[in-house]
Amino acid sequence: MNIPFLHIVEPAADDRPSCLPGFGLSCDDPNLPQCNGFGPYILPQLKNASAINRLSLSVYLGPNKANNTGAEFILGGAYDKAKMGGKPFTVKMLDPFSVTANEQPNFANVTSIAVNIPGKHAKETYSETSASGMPYILDTGNAYWYMPPHVFDVVSAGLGGNLTQNQTTGAYAVDCKYRDPAHGKGHLTVDFGAGKITVPMHQLVDEPVDGRCVAYIGRGVNEGPNLGLPFLRSAYLVYDQEAFTITMAQVRYTDKRDVREYCDGTFVVST
């Protein structure tokens, strides 16, 4: 296969969570509707150099733990089936040239976001169909997940309540015991209309090496509707930037690989 692999090693746990720079499309010219310009982006450069066969990026961030070295990014028309813990579903990404997407090819419509913890529940419903849902950016370059306020409030309660926000980083201090599923009980569910991704509560909590735990979450969408790393760690994603689709599956944390090629028709938009 003419598919290069790029392996990312996460930074030390006292750094900000790792982000994925430079893999975006060159969607800054409406005269290039295929977003294959020669801008400072890796994918179009590799495709134009015939180093990869497709403008596609598959993302596996690995489990939320210190010194995680298992993150895997596949450039080109391939994906790692071993990392898919559930049946994949495919949605159309928002037109990168739309006002909302603002030249970014990683927006998808969300129909609802819900949280369930023992004794509490909250749900924000946007639509019944993905075609008219709320556009959220699935942003590997953002450490934060910004949530609807009433969803955030239940999440906060599930992580001990009265969370303290660091005014410099914006992260919330959380008792490290909530990294344990026995204490960080419950889950969030993000529905894309064609399928759902579930995020366990305990997965929201990061543990820096200095022993202080934090959650990179935000109350409200002042920074824009964003599904950042705390969400993306629970999903395996394929950004097909030629078909303008995003394929997702519940993640399976494993070091095993089952890399498969795909082409047009492998991932069909789900309804």
The pLDDT value recorded for residue 65 is 78
Interacting residues of 85 by C-beta distance below 8 A, sequence separation 6+: 236, 249, 250, 251, 252
Q: For 5-261, CATH number?
A: 2.40.70.10
Pairing mode of beta strands 72-75, 226-227: unpaired
Tens digits of per-residue pLDDT, 100-149? 877 788 899 999 999 999 999 999 999 877 778 999 999 887 889 999 99
Write down the domain spans for the chain: 5-261
Tens digits of per-residue pLDDT, 27-85? 666 566 666 665 556 777 777 778 888 888 999 998 887 666 678 888 888 999 999 99
Q: Please provide residue 232's backbone torsions phi and psi, each rounded to the nearest 5 degrees.
A: -65, -25
The pLDDT value recorded for residue 13 is 40
Between the ranges 22-36, 164-178, 240-254, where is the mean pLDDT highest?
Answer: 240-254
Residue 245 tokens, joined? 């689709």
181 pLDDT above the threshold of 60: yes
Residue 176 tokens, joined? 């490290």
- Mean pLDDT score of the chain: 83
Beta bridge partners of 137: 107, 226
The pLDDT value recorded for residue 157 is 96
Pairing mode of beta strands 217-219, 226-227: unpaired
Interacting residues of 25 by C-beta distance below 8 A, sequence separation 6+: 35, 36, 41, 43, 44, 55, 96, 105, 241
6 band by pLDDT with thresholds 50, 70 and 90: very low
